[in-house]
Structure 1
């Protein structure tokens, strides 16, 4: 009986040894290379590898500035539909990635430089200058109205429209956000600027 136990114990050892050697051989085959440190694109095998690798880096820097433009906003900046009891039919949506701030339903009158400075005090990444420019454009387009602004959303998706209602305390601005949620690396701050007729 002792003989069969010893032989039974010895059988897994060669199998484990063979499995271990196969694993080492497989890993060493993956780690070996021909000595050159160049990478090739398997999809672009029709052209020469040197042309493919030299063409890719020259395209990447030219794409970088265009990919940075959406970082300054969401690509949705511009007019946005407005509905509600205030009688405002259109507002301006401006956005900035990772600009900070906090959402508020209440709109703030932006009729003086100090009011604009106070409204943009907690914002970052140059977003204060963007908002100040937008306020100036809205004020110039509607000289008989007062510009207002509100941080309507901080997230990944721009509002589709906003409801601007007049109340006893002032104007409230409620965004209509898309139902689907998209995950993003950095949140986008969305600000609505609009002109309300003077009473």
Structure 2
């Protein structure tokens, strides 16, 4: 008897589902046709790609302070853009130096950094870059301090309670006056 009640309940539920479909309205017009297609609908027409698009860098100008005489820097960022955190700036004074610096960055971010390096270059200055922070919040400003080992870039990052789903790589590019 229990099996009979269960079977009746299932058939009633399935019948009700059929009624709902016939009365349901589709807010988006369907483009399906009644003619059979060449490929079955269960088989995708394209093979899914395993690669994800390369991140593209976003740019932001920020103020700079410190003993190096730098007043402005550009932050280029991308989600999961790669790179390693270092506050020591790297001189980007040749194509080889730029290639070495951007080698650990993801393709889209590396391209954006190279473009900023070209835009930042001015006579009487040397362009530098570093990845001072990887996290959720961009630096609001940087202090560029001249030292014996080179320029140290200290980012001023706001205290944040934001928890990001993916880390963002922040590259700081600036032009320092030649000595």
TM-score, structure 1 as length reference = 0.65
Q: Quick one: which of 166, 169, 173 aligns to 1:186?
A: 166
1:111 maps to: 93
- Contact 1:157–1:181 at 8 Å: present in 2 too? no
Q: How far has the Cα of 1:35 moved from its partner?
A: 3.9
RMSD between aligned residues: 2.9
Residue deviations 1:144-170 (CA, integer Å, cap 9, x gap):
100000101111111111110000110
Stretch deviating more after TM superposition (120-129 or 100-109)? 120-129
Task: Give the whole-Å Cα distance in 1 for the aligned partners of 2:124 and 2:23.
Answer: 65
Structure 1: gaps of 5 or more residues? 1-24, 40-48, 55-70
Task: Give the whole-Å Cα distance in 2 for the aligned partners of 1:158 and 1:198.
Answer: 28
Structure 2: gaps of 5 or more residues? 1-8, 30-54
Structural mapping, 1:134-173, within 5 Å: 134-139=116-121, 142-173=122-153
- Contact 2:144–2:152 at 8 Å: present in 1 too? yes
- Higher RCO (Cα < 8 Å, 6 or more apart): 2
SS in structure 1 at match of 2:21: coil
Alpha carbons of structure 1 residues 163 and 38: separation in structure 2 relative to 1, 3 Å? farther
Alpha carbons of structure 1 residues 35 and 119: separation in structure 2 relative to 1, 3 Å? same
- Contact 2:56–2:112 at 8 Å: present in 1 too? no
TM-score, structure 2 as length reference = 0.71
- Contact 2:145–2:152 at 8 Å: present in 1 too? yes
SS in structure 1 at match of 2:139: coil
Task: Give the whole-Å Cα distance in 1 for the aligned partners of 2:68 and 2:104.
Answer: 27
- Contact 1:98–1:125 at 8 Å: present in 2 too? no
Q: How far has the Cα of 1:38 moved from its partner?
A: 9.6
2:156 maps to: 176
Task: Give the whole-Å Cα distance in 2 for the aligned partners of 1:36 and 1:183.
Answer: 42
Q: Which structure has the highest helix share of the two?
A: 1
Structural mapping, 1:13-52, within 5 Å: 33=17, 34-36=19-21, 50=26, 52=27
Residue deviations 1:125-180 (CA, integer Å, cap 9, x gap):
422111111100000xx221000001011111111111100001100001111111
1:120 maps to: 102
Task: Give the whole-Å Cα distance in 1 for the aligned partners of 2:144 and 2:63.
Answer: 10
Alpha carbons of structure 1 residues 38 and 165: separation in structure 2 relative to 1, 3 Å? farther
The answer to whether structure 1 residue 97 and structure 2 residue 87 are counterparts is: no
